[in-house]
Structure 1
Amino acid sequence: MRKNWNEAFFGHVSVIITGQLTETFINQAVREGIQIWDVKRLDEQRLVCSMMLQDIKRIKPILKKTSCKIHFNERYGFPFLIKRLMARSGIVIGIILCVAIVFILSNMVWHIEINGADAKVEEQIQKLLKKKHIHVGALEFLLPSLNTIETDLSSQLPKVTWVGVSKKGTTYRIDVVQKELPKKEKVTGPRDLIATKEATIHHVYVEKGQSVVSPDQVVQKGDLLVSGTIGKTEDPSFVSAKGEVIGETWYHATTTVPLKTDYETFTGATYTKHELSFFGWDVPIWGFQKQPFKYEKHERSTKNFRFLFWKLPIAYKKIDYRQYDHTNRQLSEAQALAIGKVDARDHLLRQLPEKSKVLQENVKSQQIVDGKLVLKIFFIVEEDIAKPRAFSTQERKEEIEKQNQEDSEE
């Protein structure tokens, strides 16, 4: 009879049957469905054969009927291996503990490498990682996914332009690209303050230099506001002009506000499933609902188990479900107008100097187009319009001398 995997798993034995009716014993056993193979006769009263371990009890009545006896010759298969191992329990426990320790160490974070960050940002990253329990010694399959770590770090590090998180073996690598903030321009010589745009002057605050404009005066882009030349015209001094020139400026803005909006709102309800994957087959271990919510979004993270340098065909899967509701918002024209004015004002102020403020706003036109309210708004703003412009002292002296000559000739 051809052997198969059942023999190894359930165990089989080689036995010697002794008696006058050994052939009758074999025939009776086969008729009752007992698997027997490798039958060989040793002499007139003995034969050797193999059978499944689970059939030993079934042959006892047959042995009794045929007056045969059985002697076990060899034992094979998993049950006998377990029995032999149990006899050496100390060695078995040691092997199991050794494998378990190596398995845990293989799935543990041993090193976190941060590249591209200065000392301050690196310290911030380390603190954020510890809050998420990402540290040397943490079990890798219990940590958030790489995408989640990237998103959280990017949102909480204002001085960082880009964060990349990768994993190689037991090492997490975090690559950082920091923002290159514009360096403050150092004052290296005499400068004037000139207008950055057309405006009506409201206030002039001069720390250094000589003001050449006054309140209510209208200036154009590029006009001189504060001169870096001070003192007498016969013996002038040159400084780097410093101060603020607050002027009234004007802007036109166009914005649109949908009157009807469909959007999704998360309710805060969550549901988590935990699974173990063996060779591609997913086995639920916690959370058995097929569809926890009617409207849901889910995020799946998969962590493969490792043993030393090898990735095992076993993985831990975590699926987080978040419930959301569909909501429709219908705005009246008045409500849309109020929202549009606030949005347009905020958008404008984000593009202006820090201390700028809106003095007045007038809606020039409003109309509904394709379900959207289209607004055209005129803003009057108060802002600092001064910016520095360097000049050559030699050229400035020549200009002053020329002006003095023209004045004397007159």
Structure 2
Amino acid sequence: MKKNWNEAFFGHVNVTIKGRLPEQFINLCVKNGITIWDIKRIDDKSVSCSLLLSDIRKVKPVLKSTDCRIHFVDRKGFPFLLKRLLSRTGIIIGMVLFLAILFVLSNIVWRIDVTGADPKLESEIRKLLKKNDLHVGAFEFFLPSTEDIESYLSGKLTKVTWLGVSKDGTTYRVDVVQKELPKEDKQPGPRNLIASKKAVIYDIFVENGQAAVEPDQVVQPGQLLISGMIGNEKDPKFVGAKGKVIGETWYRSTTAVPLKSNYKTYTGNTYTKHQLRLFGWDMPLWGLEKKPYKTFDREVTVKPVHFLIWDLPIAYKRITYRQTEQANKKLTEEAAVKAGKEAAYKKLKGKLPDKAKIISRKVENKDVKDGVLTLKIFYIVHENIAVQNLISPEEQQEKIEKAKEKEKEKEEKSQDN
């Protein structure tokens, strides 16, 4: 009889059947659905065969009815292998510890690569990562997601144009594109400094070139401030004008502040659920309340489990509920004016050059309508209004020549008269 395909898994035994009617024993086994194979005759009163381990109990009545005895020769299959292993606890403990160590090592950060950053910036990035608990030897289950790490670094670093965080196995990678500051031209070509906007000249500092304006003078956009031409008209020289022209400029802004507003605040109370995800199904481990708070923000973190280079269909899932509450805020007109001034100041400050100074501000108009205070504010600012404008020595020379010709023509006319 053909042996069953699952004999290796469920286990089987090789036996010898001895008795007066061994053939009748075989016939009754087949009749009763007992799987039997590898039947060989040894002599007139004995045969050898193989039986499934699960059919041994079914064989006992057949043995009695045929007056036969069974003798076990060999035992094979997974159940017997497992029994032998269990009898050797040292091997079992060693295997379990080995797999546990591999599992732990597969979920630990072993390397952090930072590319595209100079040594100083790389050191700063590694310090920020360490503050965020990301370092060599950290356990991945307790680390924030790569998106959160990326947002954290982007908010802290001002010298980068772009930053990306990715993960490959046990390695984290931080790719950086640094801001390239324009290199200062050590030997600038001929150029003037002209006004970038309308202003009243407050102060002027000339490092190279010749001043073309004076303090308290009103200038228009594009007007010459510091000339790159020095010397006299007979022998002019052209240089790269350099300096600062501090102008008094003016700005107006309109800001609206609601006197009544609703906003969401966090109470500080949190509730965390811990779950084990198996093949897409979530099994609760700790925290069984469905909705711990009436109003809340929900944050879900899923950490997949790795084993060597494979991603297992197992993941650790953490759900954090942060309790919130709605609050109503009412402002007096005085407080709303103060808040509007601060908001407008920050907004203007973000648009101005780094070293610009806001000298004064004045509320020109305030109006309350439909619960909203509208402010119109006037600002006086001191800022550098000088911008570079390249000049061509040939063109300037032509202008000088034309001016000389006009003067000659005027002199000739005056002499004729």
In the superposition, the TM-score normalised over structure 2's length comes to 0.73
Map 1:85-234 onto structure 2 (within 5 A): 85-184=85-184, 187-234=187-234
Backbone CA RMSD of aligned residues: 4.1
The Cα offsets for residues 151-206 of structure 1, whole Å up to 9 and x where unpaired, read as 22222222223332232333333333333444545552222221111122222222
The Cα offsets for residues 95-142 of structure 1, whole Å up to 9 and x where unpaired, read as 222222332233233443334434433333233233334334433333
The Cα offsets for residues 194-242 of structure 1, whole Å up to 9 and x where unpaired, read as 1111122222222222222222221111111222223334333333222
**1:242 maps to what in 2?**
242
Q: Mark the CA change 1:235 to 1:309 in structure 2 (over 3 Å): closer, same or farther.
A: closer
Q: Mark the CA change 1:258 to 1:399 in structure 2 (over 3 Å): closer, same or farther.
A: same
8 Å contact from structure 1 (residues 113, 171) kept in 2: yes
**2:3 maps to what in 1?**
none
Paired letter, 1:251: Y
Q: Mark the CA change 1:403 to 1:296 in structure 2 (over 3 Å): closer, same or farther.
A: same
Counterparts of 1:108 and 1:71, CA distance in 2: 56
Q: Mark the CA change 1:312 to 1:349 in structure 2 (over 3 Å): closer, same or farther.
A: closer
8 Å contact from structure 1 (residues 162, 176) kept in 2: yes
Q: Which moved more, 1:261-270 or 1:75-84?
A: 75-84
Counterparts of 2:397 and 2:96, CA distance in 1: 92
**1:354 maps to what in 2?**
354
1:339 is aligned to 2:339: yes
Which residues of structure 1 form unaligned runs of 5+? 1-7, 14-35, 44-48, 56-69
Counterparts of 2:52 and 2:357, CA distance in 1: 98
Counterparts of 2:185 and 2:343, CA distance in 1: 33
| 1:249 shift after superposition | 1.9
| 1:288 shift after superposition | 4.5
Counterparts of 1:199 and 1:103, CA distance in 2: 69
**1:5 maps to what in 2?**
none
**1:315 maps to what in 2?**
315
Counterparts of 1:157 and 1:107, CA distance in 2: 28
Q: Mark the CA change 1:121 to 1:217 in structure 2 (over 3 Å): closer, same or farther.
A: same
8 Å contact from structure 1 (residues 213, 226) kept in 2: yes
| 1:355 shift after superposition | 2.8
Q: Which moved more, 1:176-185 or 1:154-163?
A: 176-185
| 1:150 shift after superposition | 1.6
Counterparts of 2:276 and 2:369, CA distance in 1: 54
The Cα offsets for residues 259-315 of structure 1, whole Å up to 9 and x where unpaired, read as 222222223333333222333443443444444444322322112222233322222
- Partner-residue secondary structure (3-state), 1:362: strand
Q: Which moved more, 1:84-93 or 1:365-374?
A: 365-374
- Partner-residue secondary structure (3-state), 2:129: helix
Counterparts of 1:89 and 1:407, CA distance in 2: 114
8 Å contact from structure 1 (residues 37, 51) kept in 2: no
Counterparts of 1:312 and 1:251, CA distance in 2: 61
Q: Mark the CA change 1:137 to 1:380 in structure 2 (over 3 Å): closer, same or farther.
A: closer
Q: Mark the CA change 1:99 to 1:357 in structure 2 (over 3 Å): closer, same or farther.
A: closer
- Partner-residue secondary structure (3-state), 2:230: strand
Q: Which moved more, 1:364-373 or 1:201-210?
A: 364-373
Counterparts of 1:72 and 1:147, CA distance in 2: 67
**1:277 maps to what in 2?**
277
Counterparts of 2:183 and 2:292, CA distance in 1: 53
**2:379 maps to what in 1?**
379
Paired letter, 2:279: F
Q: Which moved more, 1:309-318 or 1:362-371?
A: 362-371
Q: Mark the CA change 1:134 to 1:379 in structure 2 (over 3 Å): closer, same or farther.
A: closer
Paired letter, 1:361: R
**1:396 maps to what in 2?**
396
Paired letter, 2:306: R
Counterparts of 1:340 and 1:317, CA distance in 2: 44
| 1:398 shift after superposition | 3.7
Counterparts of 1:162 and 1:39, CA distance in 2: 70
**1:3 maps to what in 2?**
none
Q: Mark the CA change 1:75 to 1:361 in structure 2 (over 3 Å): closer, same or farther.
A: same
8 Å contact from structure 1 (residues 37, 50) kept in 2: no
Paired letter, 2:193: L
Counterparts of 1:213 and 1:195, CA distance in 2: 11
Which residues of structure 2 form unaligned runs of 5+? 1-8, 14-31, 37-44, 46-50, 58-68
- Partner-residue secondary structure (3-state), 1:305: strand
Counterparts of 1:259 and 1:76, CA distance in 2: 85
Map 1:37-76 onto structure 2 (within 5 A): none
In the superposition, the TM-score normalised over structure 1's length comes to 0.74
